């Protein structure tokens, strides 16, 4: 028997799914690093846990083994209960499961997820979810909990109306916020561009559109229902006139909203004036026109937000959903003309899109900012289209049978044979995909990013759950569409069912095969669902013109329009997820809509149709069975059946209470989203204040009107005014109460003079989330209490014998929410605070906050990466060897722990390799250096085994060999990198460094030139090319390269200084002075004195213009003669230039080279010393002098000059100079 507690738990479940459809799309968290999806999902999972515990308590309260349907069954009529009574027994559990649509496919999906998680290549991530998405098995089961409890608890019309109303109202602030972003009125300082493509509360333009395409059909259904009420028994002329005025205002709202966000809302308000006039003209109550105006305004706002998102996949889904909505509506209204219009419009739109994408005549239109994106649907050579195609290229290699993946320990994946059937596990794609990563993907995506989704639901299902999971998932969708059509009366017999299945599956298969043969296997994931949707559309057209016979019962109308909307929304969702990613909001709405469809089609729809009475005639039982039956009846005393209590329907105030609390949840969530202590309410023209006001006002109007429509009893105006006042008092009370606490928590400023204060300040920010959770669940329980007022309550309060169980359940619930959800996001808040200090190079504070994150989420390897990096950077900043060793050891431990947690993540092996490479570079002892570098080589081997197509890892591997002086193996790794990717400029930079070390200047110049060709903004390449050209005597080209460096980096001190020297060598003294003075303004303090002397020297050597031209001629002739090998004549020409200006650096340098080649070492030394008197920091002259001293046997002087040269050497030459110093040290002896 039910108790008050069981009724309360039943309402907790209802409050849970209502809260979920509010907070999942609306909530985001600017205080965490991830902000959107994981923060939404932890909230969803917490709500699902509360609902599940409430269900357990309800079952216990009603008695184990008893029926656990909605509590309204106890006090009202139920078809299933009556049917059970007619046969003398209640339906068995298996019967209810097998006969309820969608239940078996859903249970099969649960089973598949369990298997896929157990056999996952990364079980922990598959269970709890990845850092970026959190869409693991835990989250999937949370969706399914909401589905089952909504399926069990939704039974009354007012419940359905409330759910639909909430879906529509929540979409209003989300759509408005998108318009605010487009109008550049967003008060929140987002890092990305949210103006050209709005992201709203989802953080991504595609995501917000994907959500809205699921809300639009329900809004449209309400608008159509309102119009049917308004147009009832009216003439065609009245309808045409009204629709004409509506069209004018819709166009006006669209135009005004595009110009300014509040302009569209002003048009909506003005629209109520002609609506009032129409109410008089049509002799209808004005309250029937109010919802029409509100819903049309909301619908237009939703459409504008999608338009501003520029998202192609959701737009295609919306077009598909609108086609099905219009065609199903025409069928329902028995209008063949309307069906022809719907089909013709669909054909016209599809034809236009094909021509728009393929015709050259419309090419200019494809460049338009918004509609133009629909003209690039077939774009696969650039942009996001290319990204998807490249990801799919890797997926089609990942899904079929292949050689097993290997762990870093070289252990193979022992379940590899199951991968095609059970997949790699939920959320496992980002580690499984690495081996199959196409190198070209790195040109359009970040090189360190591994795709964790295919941007296609078919491929995602195949990757995470294999062929078995894909079949189950498609069976779920097929069942949804089949039963939707069946409940709409569009599949009534076996022939129609066969036609539907043949078209649905047949077109899917045919289109898939066609795409596979023409475009390749990459497009199978799009082709299969595309063909299915075509088959579904063709079936509707065939049914309309060949099968349909009319005869729809008008009593089904309220549910029929809602069924049409739900089916259209799910079709739009099905199309969209095959071009994008299913997100928290769309998955939540999918499962809620699925439950809603089953409730309407399987339960409520039949209640409006009285079943023909049948007299049950029991079969004659054998004598022994009759006696046994009589004995059982005598022994079993049937409990008295509770009689329905006839009560007056609740008044407006009681009916308004749940809506007021739901609006309070909306307000509290919006406060958390948009209000921070550092942004005054007046920011950006009070845009947030207007957002709150419009949401509150429209919600109040719509809720009141919907309640007025639902009420059959009469209440006076005072009752409704009281209800309206109650709405504002409760919703505004929630808003102001939470606002006061939330801003107060954030406004407290801490003295962050030490680490303890830093942590305390971070605690304040992190604790904003628990406060929101407490507020939310307090309102959820209040909502459940308000919902209890809608049903009669049993006399008994609770079963006292169960007192011991409920505290255990409550403590367990709070602990699970805290550990698996709340702490997950609090950890991310500390991590974001740590990043802020890390970016300010406050390493100690960053380390403490990262450690705080790991305390809350010890198995999140992502935080280990950043803590390890912070330790390494802290080690590089200290001069204390003991501290450096401590920080290095701590960093190593953290990085090793990260790899233990997730060994298949390539980043962990690569980071360990980088750690040992860095430590090898810091080692002072050759033995230590060799040990660390060898360990780096091993980790690079493991990293490239995990990601064999990652060109960057091969470059880093080669760099270790370069540090070890093994040029042959360095070249081998660079060649492997080039074999993978010939357009990665970093490879050519490192090749240039290698050639420089080998003194192969021509090959080095060629490599650096290729790097510049691939990336003209590569400063290092231009700088090194300038040095090469100066060494080769190509002074004009050296000048050109230095000028390019200054274009990219105007305040580069070295380039200004080099240009001064080059201009001096070219005899362009005025230019040399200008560059030297520019260098002086940028010079470090220890270089200023020498630069000032150099400038004074230059100013004392200004030469007349004719002499300068003659000098330039001599220098050019000398360079030509040097290249021809005529050293004697070249020397004569350089002497002539020096006769005009004895301080030409390039002439003295050239003479030093000539004398060295002729074996005249003393004269060569003198010329190099002269260069150093003119340019004291000339690296080449110091290096040349060290070589000359070596050849003269003056090893100590050679060592001194080599050490000076080492201090001046560019990075790519330091290794060579170090090797030369080592050689000199060996010659010098002990």
> pLDDT tens digits, residue range 1099-1148?
765 566 677 678 888 888 888 888 888 888 889 888 888 888 787 888 88
Which is nearest to 1071 in space by CA: 1059, 1055, 1088?
1059
Q: What is the DSSP string of 987-1024?
A: HHHHHHHHHHHTT-HHHHHHHHHHHHHH-TT-HHHHHH
Q: Which tokens in the block code for residue 73? A: 């069954």
Task: Classify 150 as helix, strand or coil.
Answer: helix
Q: For 1159-1194, write each residue's pLDDT tens digit.
A: 888 888 888 888 887 777 778 888 888 888 888 888
Q: Is residue 638 predicted with pLDDT exceeding 50?
A: no
Q: Is residue 551 predicted with pLDDT exceeding 70?
A: no
Task: Show the 3-state SS of 168-208.
Answer: HHHHHHHHHHHHHHHCCCCCCCCCCCCCCCCCHHHCCHHHH
Share of the chain above pLDDT 90, in %: 50
**Cα(505)–Cα(1229) distance, integer angstroms:** 84
Split at pLDDT 50, 70, 90, the class of 69 is low
Split at pLDDT 50, 70, 90, the class of 607 is low
Contact between 376 and 359 under an 8 Å Cβ cutoff? The reply is no
Average of per-residue pLDDT across 451-466: 93
Whole-model pTM? 0.84
Within-domain flag for 1186? yes
Q: What is the pLDDT of residue 861?
A: 93
Which is nearest to 424 in space by CA: 658, 118, 707?
118
Q: Which one has a higher pLDDT value, 244 or 262?
A: 244
DSSP state of 604: I
Q: What is the pLDDT of residue 267?
A: 80
DSSP state of 880: -
Within-domain flag for 765? no
Q: Is residue 916 predicted with pLDDT exceeding 90?
A: yes
**Cα(98)–Cα(1091) distance, integer angstroms:** 89
Helix axes 584-598, 457-487, angle to 10 degrees: 30
Task: Show the 3-state SS of 1054-1096.
Answer: HHHHHHHHHHHHCCCHHHHHHHHHHHHHHCCHHHHHHHHHHHH
Share of the chain above pLDDT 70, in %: 91
Within-domain flag for 1174? yes
Within-domain flag for 135? no
Q: For 707-735, write each residue's pLDDT tens digit.
A: 887 765 566 777 778 888 899 999 999 99
Other Cβ atoms within 10 Å of 974 Cβ, number: 25
Torsion angle defined by CA atoms of residues 706, 588, 106 and 430, in that order, rounded to the nearest 10 degrees: 170
Q: What is the pLDDT of residue 971?
A: 95
Backbone φ and ψ of 1020, nearest 5°: -60, -40
Q: For 482-495, write each residue's pLDDT tens digit.
A: 999 999 888 988 98
Within-domain flag for 1137? yes
Q: Is residue 622 predicted with pLDDT exceeding 60?
A: no
Q: Which tokens in the block code for residue 757? A: 């204060």
- Residue 1132's domain comprises 1127-1228
Q: What is the pLDDT of residue 118?
A: 96
Q: What is the pLDDT of residue 889?
A: 92
Q: What is the pLDDT of residue 1068?
A: 83
**CATH number of the CATH domain containing 1219:** 1.25.40.10
Contact between 1067 and 1112 under an 8 Å Cβ cutoff? The reply is yes
Q: Which one has a higher pLDDT value, 870 or 647?
A: 870
> Which positions ≥6 away from 202 have C-beta within 8 Å?
25, 28, 36, 174, 208, 211, 583, 585
Within-domain flag for 455? no
CA of residue 798 relative to chain centroid, distance = 46
Split at pLDDT 50, 70, 90, the class of 1064 is confident
Within-domain flag for 1147? yes
Task: Classify 89 as helix, strand or coil.
Answer: coil
CA distances from 885 to 507, 874, 918 (A): 66, 11, 13
What are 917-924's contacts with CB under 8 Å, separation 24+? 917/956, 917/959, 917/960, 917/963, 918/872, 918/876, 919/888, 920/960, 920/963, 921/963, 922/876, 922/884
Q: Among 145-149, 398-402, 465-469, 754-758, where is mean pLDDT lowest?
A: 754-758
Task: Classify 741 as helix, strand or coil.
Answer: helix
Task: Classify 1176 as helix, strand or coil.
Answer: coil
Q: Is residue 608 predicted with pLDDT exceeding 50?
A: no
**Cα(399)–Cα(183) distance, integer angstroms:** 44
Q: What is the DSSP string of 928-968?
A: HHHHHHHHHHHHHHHHHHH-TT-HHHHHHHHHHHHHTT-HH
Contact between 1052 and 1078 under an 8 Å Cβ cutoff? The reply is no
Q: Is residue 32 predicted with pLDDT exceeding 80?
A: yes
Contact between 480 and 598 under an 8 Å Cβ cutoff? The reply is no
Torsion angle defined by CA atoms of residues 853, 859, 862 and 865, in that order, rounded to the nearest 10 degrees: 80
Q: Among 78-82, 463-467, 676-680, where is mean pLDDT lowest?
A: 78-82
The mean pLDDT value of the chain amounts to 86
Q: Is residue 192 predicted with pLDDT exceeding 80?
A: yes
Split at pLDDT 50, 70, 90, the class of 949 is very high
**Cα(849)–Cα(829) distance, integer angstroms:** 9
Contact between 788 and 14 under an 8 Å Cβ cutoff? The reply is no
Helix axes 457-487, 524-542, angle to 10 degrees: 10
Q: What is the pLDDT of residue 609?
A: 43
Torsion angle defined by CA atoms of residues 822, 825, 831 and 836, in that order, rounded to the nearest 10 degrees: -120
DSSP state of 618: P
Q: For 163-172, write each residue's pLDDT tens digit.
A: 999 999 999 9
**Cα(1046)–Cα(1079) distance, integer angstroms:** 12
Q: What is the pLDDT of residue 750?
A: 57
Helices (H), 260-382: 261-281, 290-309, 312-332, 336-358
Q: Is residue 288 predicted with pLDDT exceeding 50?
A: yes
Terminal alpha carbon distance of the chain:
99
Within-domain flag for 784? no
> Which positions ≥6 away from 539 have C-beta within 8 Å?
485, 499, 500, 503, 504
Q: Per this entry, what is the length of the chain?
A: 1230
Q: Among 103-107, 908-912, 1016-1020, where is mean pLDDT lowest?
A: 1016-1020
Q: What is the DSSP string of 62-82?
A: H-TTS--S-THHHHS--HHHH
**Cα(1073)–Cα(1079) distance, integer angstroms:** 10
Other Cβ atoms within 10 Å of 325 Cβ, number: 24
Q: What is the pLDDT of residue 635?
A: 47
Q: Which tokens in the block code for residue 1183? A: 């290096």
Q: What is the pLDDT of residue 548?
A: 62
- Which sign does the torsion angle of CA 57, 62, 68, 69 carry? negative
Q: For 846-856, write each residue's pLDDT tens digit.
A: 999 999 999 99
Q: How many domains does the chain have?
A: 1
Cα within 13 Å of Cα(728), Cβ side: 11
b/e string for 196-212 if b means 16 or more Cβ within 10 A? ebbbbbbbbbbbbbbbb
Q: What is the pLDDT of residue 75?
A: 39
Contact between 413 and 121 under an 8 Å Cβ cutoff? The reply is yes
Q: Which one has a higher pLDDT value, 805 or 80?
A: 805
Split at pLDDT 50, 70, 90, the class of 72 is very low
Q: Which tokens in the block code for residue 1032? A: 């080769």
Q: What is the pLDDT of residue 227?
A: 84
CA distances from 497 to 177, 566, 1193 (A): 44, 20, 99
**Cα(957)–Cα(952) distance, integer angstroms:** 9
């Amino acid at each position: 028997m039910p108790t008050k507690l069981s009724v309360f738990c039943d309402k907790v479940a209802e409050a849970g799914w209502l809260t979920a459809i509010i907070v999942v799309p609306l909530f985001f968290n600017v205080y965490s690093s991830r902000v959107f999806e994981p923060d939404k999902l932890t909230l969803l999972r917490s709500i699902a846990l509360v609902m599940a515990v409430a269900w357990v308590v309800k079952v216990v309260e009603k008695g184990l083994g008893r029926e656990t349907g909605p509590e309204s069954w106890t006090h009202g009529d139920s078809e299933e209960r009556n049917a059970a009574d007619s046969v003398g027994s209640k339906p068995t559990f298996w019967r209810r499961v097998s006969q309820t649509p969608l239940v078996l496919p859903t249970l099969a999906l649960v089973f598949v997820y369990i298997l896929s998680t157990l056999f996952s290549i990364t079980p922990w991530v598959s269970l709890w979810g990845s850092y970026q998405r959190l869409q693991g098995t835990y989250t999937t089961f949370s969706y399914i909990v909401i589905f089952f409890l909504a399926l069990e608890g939704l039974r009354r019309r007012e419940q359905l109306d409330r759910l639909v109303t909430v879906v529509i109202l929540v979409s209003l602030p989300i759509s408005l916020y998108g318009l605010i972003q487009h109008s550049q009125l967003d008060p929140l300082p987002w890092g990305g561009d949210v103006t050209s493509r709005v992201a709203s509360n989802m953080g991504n333009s595609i995501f917000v559109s994907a959500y809205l395409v699921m809300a639009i059909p329900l809004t449209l259904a309400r608008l159509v229902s309102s119009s049917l009420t308004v147009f009832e028994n009216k003439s065609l002329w009245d309808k045409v006139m009204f629709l004409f005025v509506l069209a004018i205002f819709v166009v006006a709202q669209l135009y005004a909203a595009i110009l300014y966000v509040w302009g569209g809302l002003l048009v909506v308000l003005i629209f109520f004036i002609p609506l009032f006039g129409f109410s008089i003209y049509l002799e209808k109550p004005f309250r029937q026109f109010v919802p029409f105006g509100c819903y049309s305004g909301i619908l237009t706002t939703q459409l504008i937000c999608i338009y501003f998102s520029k998202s192609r996949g959701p737009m295609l889904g919306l077009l598909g959903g609108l086609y099905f909505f219009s065609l199903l509506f025409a069928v329902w209204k028995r209008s063949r003309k309307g069906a022809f219009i719907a089909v013709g419009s669909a054909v016209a739109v599809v034809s236009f899109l094909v021509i728009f994408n393929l015709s050259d005549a419309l090419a200019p239109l494809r460049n338009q900012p918004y509609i133009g994106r629909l003209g690039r649907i077939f774009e696969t050579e650039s942009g996001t289209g290319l990204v998807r195609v490249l990801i799919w290229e890797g997926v089609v290699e990942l899904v079929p049978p292949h050689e097993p993946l290997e762990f870093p320990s070289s252990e193979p994946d022992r379940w590899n044979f199951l991968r095609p059937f059970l997949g790699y596990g939920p959320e496992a794609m980002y580690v499984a995909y690495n081996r199959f990563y196409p190198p070209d993907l790195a040109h359009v995506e970040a090189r360190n990013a591994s795709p964790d989704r295919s941007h296609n639901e078919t491929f995602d299902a195949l990757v995470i759950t294999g062929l078995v999971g894909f079949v189950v998932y498609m069976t779920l969708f097929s069942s949804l569409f089949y039963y939707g059509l069946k409940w709409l009366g569009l599949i009534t017999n076996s022939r129609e069912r066969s036609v539907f299945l043949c078209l649905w599956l047949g077109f899917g298969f045919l289109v898939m095969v066609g795409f596979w043969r023409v475009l390749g296997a990459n497009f199978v994931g799009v082709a299969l669902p595309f063909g299915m949707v075509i088959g579904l559309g063709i079936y509707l057209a065939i049914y309309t013109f060949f099968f349909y016979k009319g005869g729809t019962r008008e009593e089904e109308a309220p549910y029929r329009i809602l069924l049409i909307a739900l089916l259209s929304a799910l079709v739009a969702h099905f199309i969209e997820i095959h071009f994008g990613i299913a997100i928290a909001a769309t998955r939540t709405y999918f499962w809620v809509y699925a439950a809603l469809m089953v409730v309407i089609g399987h339960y409520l729809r039949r209640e409006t149709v009285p079943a023909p009475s049948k007299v049950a005639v029991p079969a004659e039982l054998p004598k022994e069975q009759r006696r046994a039956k009589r004995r059982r009846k005598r022994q079993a005393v049937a409990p008295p059946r509770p009689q329905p209590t006839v009560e007056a329907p609740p008044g407006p105030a009681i009916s308004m209470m749940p809506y007021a609390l739901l609006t309070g949840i909306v307000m509290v969530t919006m406060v958390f989203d948009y209000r921070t202590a550092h942004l005054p309410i007046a920011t950006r023209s009070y845009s947030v204040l207007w957002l709150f006001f419009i949401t509150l006002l429209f919600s109040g109007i719509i809720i009141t009107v919907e309640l007025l429509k639902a009420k059959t009893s009469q209440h006076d105006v005072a009752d409704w005014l009281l209800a309206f006042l109650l709405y504002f008092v409760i919703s505004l009370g929630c808003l102001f109460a939470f606002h006061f606490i939330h801003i107060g928590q954030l406004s407290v400023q801490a003295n962050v003079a030490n680490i303890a204060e830093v942590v305390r300040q971070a605690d304040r920010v992190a604790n904003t989330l628990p406060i929101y959770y407490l507020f939310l669940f307090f309102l959820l329980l209040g909502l459940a209490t308000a919902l209890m007022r809608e049903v009669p309550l049993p006399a008994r309060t609770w079963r006292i014998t169960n007192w011991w169980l409920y505290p255990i359940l409550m403590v367990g619930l709070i602990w699970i929410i805290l550990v698996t959800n709340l702490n997950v996001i609090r950890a991310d808040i500390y991590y974001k605070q740590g990043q802020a200090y890390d970016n300010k190079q406050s390493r100690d504070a960053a380390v403490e906050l990262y450690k705080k994150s790991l305390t809350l989420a010890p198995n999140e390897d992502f935080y280990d990466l950043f803590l390890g990096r912070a330790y390494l950077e802290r080690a590089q900043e200290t001069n204390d060897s003991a501290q450096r060793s401590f920080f290095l050891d701590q960093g190593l431990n953290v990085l090793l722990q990260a790899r233990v947690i997730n060994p298949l993540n390539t980043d962990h092996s690569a980071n360990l390799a980088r750690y040992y490479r860095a430590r090898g570079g810091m080692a002072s002892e050759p033995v230590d250096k060799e040990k660390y570098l060898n360990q780096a080589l091993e980790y690079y081997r493991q990293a490239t085994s995990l990601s064999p197509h990652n060109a960057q890892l091969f470059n880093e591997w080669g760099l270790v060999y370069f540090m070890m002086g093994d040029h042959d193996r360095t070249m081998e790794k660079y060649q492997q990198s080039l074999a993978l990717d010939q357009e990665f400029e970093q490879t050519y930079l490192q090749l240039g460094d290698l050639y420089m070390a080998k003194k192969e200047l021509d090959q080095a110049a060629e490599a650096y030139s290729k790097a510049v060709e691939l990336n003209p903004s590569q400063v290092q390449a231009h700088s090194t090319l300038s040095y090469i050209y100066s060494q080769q005597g190509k002074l004009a080209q050296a000048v050109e390269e230095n000028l390019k460096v200054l274009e990219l980096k105007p305040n580069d001190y070295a380039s200004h200084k080099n240009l001064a020297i080059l201009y001096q060598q070219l005899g362009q003294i005025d230019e040399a002075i200008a560059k030297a003075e520019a260098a002086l303004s940028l010079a470090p303090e220890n270089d200023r004195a020498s630069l000032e002397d150099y400038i004074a020297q230059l100013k004392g050597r200004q030469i007349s213009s004719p002499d300068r031209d003659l000098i330039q001629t001599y220098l050019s002739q000398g360079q030509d003669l040097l290249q021809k090998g005529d050293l004697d004549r070249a020397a004569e020409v350089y002497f002539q230039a020096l006769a005009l200006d004895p301080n030409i650096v390039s002439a003295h340098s050239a003479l030093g080279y000539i004398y060295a080649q002729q074996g005249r070492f003393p004269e060569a030394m003198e010329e190099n010393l002269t260069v150093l008197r003119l340019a004291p920091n000339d690296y080449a002259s110091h290096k040349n002098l060290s070589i000359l001293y070596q050849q003269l046997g003056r090893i100590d002087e050679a060592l001194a000059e080599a050490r000076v040269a080492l201090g001046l050497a560019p990075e790519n030459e330091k290794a060579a100079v170090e090797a030369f110093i080592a050689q000199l040290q060996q010659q010098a002896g002990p």
